[in-house]
């Protein structure tokens, strides 16, 4: 992903230095690193199902792990052990959910959000994002999970390639 994407993603996340965040599907840890740089007393947790990506992300972000700003997990989102209402923001890039039952997975993630917390789904694509198929399904899944004020924002320079769906917990 490009520097342009990371800057735009950070704007969408609107991170405050004290927040607790969860990244679902951190991959090689590039965005994780950018997010961790913004934290001072906050915390970021990440979950990834692929061990090689965990290893890359750990190497890239070990200074944040040592500072206890970051904790990386291997597994699926439903396996996380954090208490309800723990995170200010939960985000994922390209819907790193298992895909089997997105409404149920969003319901689980919603339970981890603090009241007024945000779920941010960052969509990227080298080709155009299939908005007509994907967006209505994701919006419906957000509402099913009890999230409100679902809105979309496209990247101003690359609207067909970068899109954010943000929803809030009541």
Domains and CATH numbers, the chain: 3-169 (3.40.50.150)
Dihedral class, residue 109 (left if φ above 0, else alpha if ψ from -120 to 50, else beta): alpha
Q: Tell if the pTM clears 0.75, that is, is over it.
A: yes
Alpha carbons 77 and 32: distance in angstroms, whole number: 16
Residues facing residue 137 across a β-bridge? none
Residue 98 predicted with pLDDT over 70: no
Query: How much is the pLDDT for 119?
Result: 96
The C-alpha angle with vertex 13 and arms to 10 and 15, in degrees rounded to 5, equals: 85
pLDDT tens digits, one per residue of 7-45: 999 999 999 999 999 999 999 999 999 999 999 899 999
- For 107, counting Cβ atoms within 10 Å of its Cβ (0-12 exposed, 13-18 middle, 19+ buried), the class is middle
């Amino acid at each position: 992903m490009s520097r342009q994407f990371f800057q735009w993603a950070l704007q969408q996340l609107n991170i405050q230095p004290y927040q607790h965040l969860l990244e679902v599907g951190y991959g090689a840890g590039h965005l994780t690193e950018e997010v961790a740089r913004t934290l001072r007393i906050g915390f970021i947790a990440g979950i990834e199902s692929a061990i090689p990506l965990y290893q890359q992300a750990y190497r890239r972000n070990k200074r944040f792990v040592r500072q206890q700003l970051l904790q990386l997990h291997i597994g699926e989102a439903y396996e996380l052990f954090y208490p309800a209402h723990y995170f200010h923001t939960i985000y994922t890039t390209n819907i790193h959910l298992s895909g089997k039952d997105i409404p149920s997975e969003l319901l689980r993630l919603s339970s981890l959000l603090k009241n007024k917390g945000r779920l941010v789904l960052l969509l990227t694509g080298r080709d155009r994002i299939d908005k007509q198929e994907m967006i209505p399904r994701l919006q419906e899944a957000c509402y099913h999970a009890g999230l409100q004020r679902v809105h979309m924002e496209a990247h101003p320079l690359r609207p067909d390639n970068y899109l954010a769906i943000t929803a809030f917990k009541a």
